[in-house]
A = this chain, B = another copy of it.
Amino acid sequence: MSETTVGRTAAAGPGAAHVPDAPVVPVVPAELLRLRSSIDNIDAALIHLLAERFKATQQVGVLKAEEHLPAADPAREEQQIARLRALADESGLDPVFAEKFLAFVVAEVIHHHEQIASGQHEQPGSTGNRSAGPAERTA
């Protein structure tokens, strides 16, 4: 059922003919569709930037494994948190959310670095429970 359906009952029972104009499926206002289109564009940009970020961190992982550096780097992460909180504040984003976001991404990166160090190789941004994807073949 489309969410743009207007003025239709969800299930036309025996008594439905008596209330033909009762909207059960919510109408999606044009302004909401416009905003969703912008959100979709932003999401596409976010996905592509995340893909690029994981390409860079995968290279970092290889380098760290070669140089026998630890996967996690608390000093570096502290600098990143401070910087992203400041950038968030400037751009009107909650710094607490920005920090949570970085932690979310870094957790994935560290997991990935540990896999590189242990000799495994995986798609950037992988959660570790899937088979080889396109990134392995094109990296």
Contact B26 A133 (CB under 8 A): no
Q: Please give the number of chain A residues whose Cβ is less than 8 angstroms from any Cβ of chain B in the complex.
A: 70
A54 touches B133 (CB 8 A): no
Check A43 against B127 for contact (C-beta < 8 Å). Answer: no
Where chain A touches its partner, the secondary structure class is: helix
Q: Which of B3, B36, B39, B87 contacts A47 (CB 8 A)?
A: B87
CA of A29 to CA of B57 in the docked complex: distance in angstroms? Answer: 14
Q: Are B35 and A45 in contact (CB under 8 A)?
A: no
From residue A6, how far is it (CB to closest CB) to chain B in Å?
13
Q: Closest residue to A98 on the B side, CB-wise? A: B47
> Do residues B91 and A48 form an inter-chain contact, with CB atoms below 8 A?
yes
Interface string of A109-127 (1 = CB under 8 A from B): 0000000000000111111
